[in-house]
Amino acid sequence: MLSVKNLCASVDDKQILRGINLEVRAGEVHAIMGPNGSGKSTLASVLAGNEKFTVTDGSVEFMGRNLLELSIEDRARMGLFLGFQYPVEIPGVTMANFMKMAVNEQRKFRGEEPLSAGAFLRMMREKSAVVELDSKLTNRAVNEGFSGGEKKKNEIFQMAMLEPKLAVLDETDSGLDIDALRIVATGVTKLHTNENATIVITHYQRLLDYIVPDYVHVLYKGRIIYTGDKTLALKLEKEGYDWLINDYKE
Amino acid sequence: MAEKEILENIDSEYKYGFTSDIDTETIGKGLNEEVIRIISSKKGEPEWMLERRLAAFRHWQTMKLPTWAHLDIPEIDFQDIIYYAAPKARKTLGSMDEVDPELKRTFDKLGIPLEEQMALAGVAVDAVMDSVSVKTTFRETLAEKGIIFCSISEAIKEYPELIKKYLGKVVPHTDNFYAALNAAVFSDGSFCYIPKGVRCPMELSTYFRINAEGTGQFERTLLVADEGSYVSYLEGCTAPQRDENQLHAAVVEIIVEKDAEVKYSTVQNWYPGDKDGKGGIYNFVTKRGLCRENARLSWTQVETGSAITWKYPSCVLLGDNSVGEFYSVAMTNNYQQADTGTKMIHIGRNTRSRIVSKGISAGKSQNAYRGLVRVAKGADNARNYSQCDSLLIGDKCGAHTFPEIDSHNPTAVLEHEATTSKISEEQLFYCNQRGLSTEDAVGLIVNGYAREVLAKLPMEFAVEAQKLLAISLEGSVG
Amino acid sequence: MGLLEYLREQGVDPQGEGGVLQLANGEEVEVVINPTDNLFSVEEQQRRKILIIHTSDDTSKLLFDVKPYASLQVVDVYLGGCFADVTLRQQSGSVCDVLSVVMHGAIADYTIDLNGKHSSNALRGVFLSRGEEHCKMAVRVNHYYSDCVSNSLVKGVAGEKSIGEFNGMVYVAQDAQRTDACQNSRNIELGGEAKIITKPQLEIYADDVKCSHGATVGQLDSEAVLYMRQRGLSQAQARKLQIEGFVKDVVYSSSEFGEMLAEELNAILEQIQ
């Protein structure tokens, strides 16, 4: 589904990603961990197409297409979803309108008819239940005045609405209390099928208690330096990164 | 209605830019007493009206063009304008069959069907083309309630007492340069009278259309809501696409008597000129309402058109406990210039006013909010809250805020807040990531920004206004 | 203790042209009394602290030329009905801090030109008018270059039959991206015939800016006055306390002269009927 080869990217002439290699197949869950500043969020942004970053080398193939030559919105319409670490507020734009537009853009992209108002509302109701999102929130402006937990739930709600092929969740667990964490993680698990894949970027092992990864990657200084299974996360939690990154220190 | 559906209908060109091939009767260019006599006699006006026009004209000749606005106005040759143009019509317009079919087609194109059975449910329309009112719908239905809704020319002949009592009461011809010019040469417009205690059962609406070349349009609207009555009034404006600039100088007067309420909504979409700033309407309008005791007047405007806009719908809060409101979205693109805002004059006690102004500047345009909140000496416990926000799209445009607070009473509580912002990269990225194109995202964000004001418009108008904002943004996102 | 009395105590003759004050912390403050047409330069990376006192009704024209990375603190006090025209020209990286106290029907007109990148200006002002005075403070901040910061806060009090007026303008030129400008006008009308006029204006030609302004006109909190009177304070005392609270943050932004300035304001407040 996703094939990343030697991906290098920089921002303001500063090299952040220095050759990422990553294969993600349908049905898989990958966790990417690593200390602060290792390039985790940059990887998510580059995959989504954030123009702040310049890709300097490498290639990314997604669903058989060259991802890097697609616009941000076309990547999204193809089924790449980025769950933001800091979801932005858009004053005055209601969630309902925003999602209706997003869902129908995706349908248009696939050559499908737009959803009727009734069908759309039904879908909103169903999907908001997945993350126990207060349905009143969908009448509010996008992320405006949402608490930290509501913003993250709202990201997963949007993921449920858009049914992505590949979801990249950037630190979705940060700033969540244990209840919100459970809700968000259960939501993600419910949405997981054999047809789609998830990349979870996280700092802490605790999210992985709920979302069980098939692979755990350690990102350090812009490279994946180690890949293991779910037990790696536990080891990292106990022992930290030092045993891994000592060899890479300058 | 979702912005989505609206944005799908984006038409990149000014949609109302067509001209209609209608036989037009005009008089020669220029302005002098003789021209005013001709206008008056063509309209079959009584002598007293002619005297009023002449008095206004004589006063106008002593006046100078106002220059205080933040506008760069090319010199206007007032002798190079045709002051009267009328679609040639049969004598009276008793039934629809007598309206020129081409004229009917014009209004159909504008989305204003004149046939009553086809009319938007519950909206009575007065359609004004160039200098005359061509058709007023639903007159009979309204008449049953005692509501008068007709062209001002008819009102002058049929209701001289009401006209004598109210015309020029709120905006006298001495008020300003353009108001004086209008009082001298106004050709038509709408008159509306809601009798005591009557709640007008439908939205009343006037559509203004400039069609003839080289003409100016000077319409006059007079709206009187008698004690305890209520009316919601809509006004829409369009003009053909022309390389020349055309002058539009209207006056709207509203009298809101004791316990009455008036909502006045405008969607102004005069031709704004092309991408290079060629052509477009010069829109110099004086709008003012007078509120008596417990009266309430609410102005809502969405301004996307005109090359130059100079307009300050105002409330004179004369009666105790009266309320004035002003909600505005003013959007400029390309080379458009707008200097618009409001005046809230608190005279009575316990008067309240609220101002919400949302400016959007794109392209190379200049957009200014100008406001005055004055609290007179006797206006105990006056309250005002003003909020003026500006949104800038692109780095070649300007957004300006010129508020003035003038308080002569220590019990007044007045607040003014303003912010200036732009659409952030983060917002665009977020929308793009959810699959929206940048243009759609900008349309969505702008409509969200203006939502507070759009929500004040009647439903049909709100939809039209949202479309207009999206269309007017075309080409502003690089 | 009033400001003039304090100066005398510190060995600066209030009738003279000024002098230098030695502060307890070892810093020096230049004192200038009734300047007419003066130029003050602050050289690159230098610091200057200046106290200006106007006691006459004359006109005064002051120009501060603040060179790159210099810093300037000005306390500008109007104890006479002076008409002053004050211009600050700030070059890149410079920092200016202005405190202005306008009384006795004075008119103080400030122009702040941010003539270089990364310069910043903070202006705090108070005007207090009584009797039939017309006090006016005008502040025009011109952001000509990118990345500058300006913040103005002016508090006005008008009593009796006086007029208090604030005229503000923030101008942001087309190239002045990343401007951060804030302007606030807060006012209180005391008497039945007092007037406040405020015009906080913005003129913006750049798009990547953070500009905000606010203006309020209000009155004393009558409940608070009642509360204080119930505790035995006179109407005048209660009023004085509230106004002190209102202007405190502005006046005490000068750690050196805050107390003396508050004293000057009080002396006028006590005269207000």
Residue B447 contacts A where some CB pair is shorter than 8 Å: yes
For residue C177, count other CB atoms closer than 10 A to its CB.
16
Q: Across the interface, do A90 and B431 touch by the CB < 8 Å criterion?
A: yes
Of B392, B403, B421, the CB nearest to C199: B403
Q: Which residues of chain B are within 8 Å of residue C140 when distances are taken between CB atoms?
A: none
What is the pLDDT, as a whole number, of residue B281?
Answer: 87
> What pLDDT sits at residue B22?
65
User: Which backbone phi and psi does B44 adopt, to 5 degrees?
Assistant: 60, 40
Q: Is A179 on the interface with B (CB under 8 A)?
A: no
Q: Does ipTM top 0.90?
A: no
Contact A158 B434 (CB under 8 A): yes
Distance CA B394, CA C42 (A): 37
Give the percent of chain B with pLDDT over 90. Answer: 42
- Cα gap C132→C209, rounded to integer Å: 41
Residues C50 and C30: beta-carbon distance below 8 Å: yes
Residue from C174, C182, C205, C208 to probe the interface with B (highest B Cβ count within 10 Å) = C205
- Using one digit for the tens of pLDDT, what is the confidence trace for B9-26? 333 456 666 666 666 677
Q: Using one digit for the tens of pLDDT, what is the confidence trace for B201-244?
A: 888 888 777 766 777 888 899 999 999 999 999 888 776 677 77
Q: How far is CA B361 from CA B132, B164, B304, in A?
A: 34, 42, 10
Nearest to A106 among B424, B426, B435 (CB): B435
What's the gap in Å between the CA of B441 and the closest CA on chain A?
Answer: 9
Q: What is the pLDDT of residue B293?
A: 97
* In chain C, domain spans: 3-220
Cβ separation A101–B444 shorter than 8 A: yes
Written as six digits, the tokens of A35 are 């200390």
| Contact at CB, B430 and A88, closer than 8 angstroms | yes
Give the Cα separation of A218 and A225 in Å (integer): 6
Q: Does A48 touch chain B (CB under 8 A)?
A: yes
- For residues B54-72, one letter each, b for 16 or more C-beta atoms within 10 angstroms of the residue's C-beta and e for the rest, the string is ebbbebbeeeeeeeebbbe
Q: How many helices (H) and strands (E) does chain A have?
A: 8, 12
**Neighboring chain C residues of B412 at a CB cutoff of 8 Å:** 189, 217-219
DSSP annotation of A243 reads H
The answer to whether B328 and B356 are in contact (CB under 8 A) is yes
What pLDDT shows up at residue B289? Answer: 96
d(CA B361, CA B469): 11
Q: Is residue B65 scored above 50 in pLDDT?
A: yes
| Residues on chain B touching A92 (C-beta within 8 angstroms) | 447-452
User: Which two structure tokens, joined as six digits, stand for A27?
Assistant: 């049905």
B451 inside 8 A of chain A by CB: yes
| Interface membership of B478 toward A (CB under 8 Å) | no
Chains contacting C with at least 3 CB pairs below 8 Å?
Answer: B
Say how far apart CA A79 and CA A84 lie, in whole Å: 15
Positive or negative, the CA dihedral A26, A32, A38, A39 is positive
**B24 contact partners, CB below 8 Å, separation of at least 6:** B85, B86, B87, B88, B130, B211, B212
CATH of A2-245, one of 3.40.50.720, 3.40.50.300, 3.30.1370.140, 3.40.50.10090: 3.40.50.300
pLDDT value at residue A36: 84
How many CB atoms are closer than 10 A to CB B191?
Answer: 28
Contacts of C5 (CB under 8 A, 6+ apart): none
Q: At what angle do helices A95-109 and B438-449 cross, to 10 degrees?
A: 160
Distance of residue C241 Cα from the nearest chain B Cα, in angstroms: 18
Residues A154-182 pLDDT 10s: 999 999 999 999 999 998 888 788 888 88
Task: Decide: residue B212, CB within 10 A, 0-12 exposed, 13-18 middle, 19+ buried.
Answer: buried
Q: Which of A50, A52, A102 is nearest residue B436 as measured by Cβ atoms?
A: A102
Residue C151 confidence (pLDDT) = 96
Q: Please, do chains A and C touch (3+ CB pairs < 8 Å)? A: no
- pLDDT bucket at A207, cuts 50 / 70 / 90: confident
Q: Which of B255, B230, B250 is nearest to B167 (CA)?
A: B255
Residue-wise pLDDT for C218-255, tens only, equals: 888 777 776 667 776 777 777 887 888 888 889 988 88
Tell me if chain B has a CB within 8 Å of the CB of A162. Answer: yes
- Whether A100 and B2 lie within 8 Å, measured CB to CB: yes
Closest CA to A14 of A34, A33, A48, A37: A37
Cross-strand pairs, C95: C71, C120
Contact C108, C134 (CB under 8 A): no
Query: With contacts defined as CB-CB under 8 Å, which chain C residues touch B355?
Result: none
pLDDT at residue A80 greater than cutoff 90? yes
What is the C-alpha to C-alpha distance for residues B81 and B214, in angstroms, rounded to an integer? 6
Measured CA to CA, the distance from residue B433 to residue B441 in angstroms comes to 11
Residue B77 touches chain A, beta carbons under 8 Å = no
Q: Give the predicted TM-score (pTM) of the model.
A: 0.82
Token pair 């913040």 in the structure block, residue = C151
Contact C196 B418 (CB under 8 A): no
At a CB cut-off of 8 Å and minimum separation 6, what does A66 contact? A59, A60
| Nearest-angstrom CA–CA distance, B29 and B82 | 4
SS3 state at C174: coil
- The answer to whether the beta carbons of residues C143 and C176 sit under 8 Å apart is yes
Tokens 């949007």 sit at which residue? A158
The secondary structure of chain B, three-state, reads: CCHHHHHHCCCCCCCCCCCCCCCEEECCECCCHHHHHHHHHHCCCCHHHHHHHHHHHHHHHCCCCCCCCCCCCCCCCCCCCECCEEECCCCCCCCHHHCCHHHHHHHHHCCCCCCHHHCCCCEEEEEEECCEEEEECCHHHHHHCCCEEEEHHHHHHHCHHHHHHHCCCCCCCCCCHHHHHHHHHCCECEEEEECCCCECCCEEEEEEECCCCCECECEEEEEEECCCCEEEEEEEEECCCCCCEEEECCEEEEEECCCCEEEEEEEECCCCCCCCCCCEEEEEEEEEEEECCCCEEEEEEEECCCCEEEECCEEEECCCCCEEEEEEEEEECCCCEEEEEEEEEECCCCCEEEEEEEEEEECCCEEEEEEEEEECCCCCCCEEEEEEEEEEECCCCEEEEEEEEEECCCCCEEEEEEEEEECCHHHHHHHHHCCCCHHHHHHHHHHHHCHHHHCCCCHHHHHHHHHHHHHHCCCCCC
Q: In this complex, is the C-beta atom of B452 within 8 Å of any C-beta atom belonging to chain A?
A: yes
Query: What's the sign of the alpha-carbon dihedral B203, A118, A139, B425?
Result: negative
What element of type H or E holds A245?
A: helix A242-245
Domain ranges across chain A: 2-245
Q: For residue B130, give how far its alpha carbon lies from the nearest alpha carbon of chain C (Å).
A: 36
Separation between Cα atoms, residue A61 and residue B464, nearest integer Å = 43
Distance CA B444, CA A56 (A): 33
Which of A101, A104, A106, A116 has the highest number of chain B CBs within 10 A, making it the mutation to test binding with B? A101
Nearest CB partner across the interface for B430, out of A84, A94, A106? A84
Q: What does the pLDDT read at residue B5?
A: 36
The per-residue pLDDT for C191 is 78
**Does B have 3 or more CB contacts under 8 Å with C?**
yes
CB A210 within 8 A of CB A185: yes
pLDDT at C14: 86
Closest partner CB to B407 (pick from C201, C210, C217): C217
Per-residue pLDDT of chain C (273 residues; tens, 9 = 90+): 889 999 999 889 988 898 999 888 888 999 999 999 999 999 999 999 999 999 999 999 999 999 999 999 999 999 999 999 999 999 999 999 999 999 999 999 999 999 999 999 999 999 999 999 999 999 999 999 999 999 999 999 999 999 999 999 999 998 899 999 999 999 999 877 899 999 989 999 888 888 888 899 988 877 777 666 777 677 777 788 788 888 888 998 888 899 899 999 988 888 887
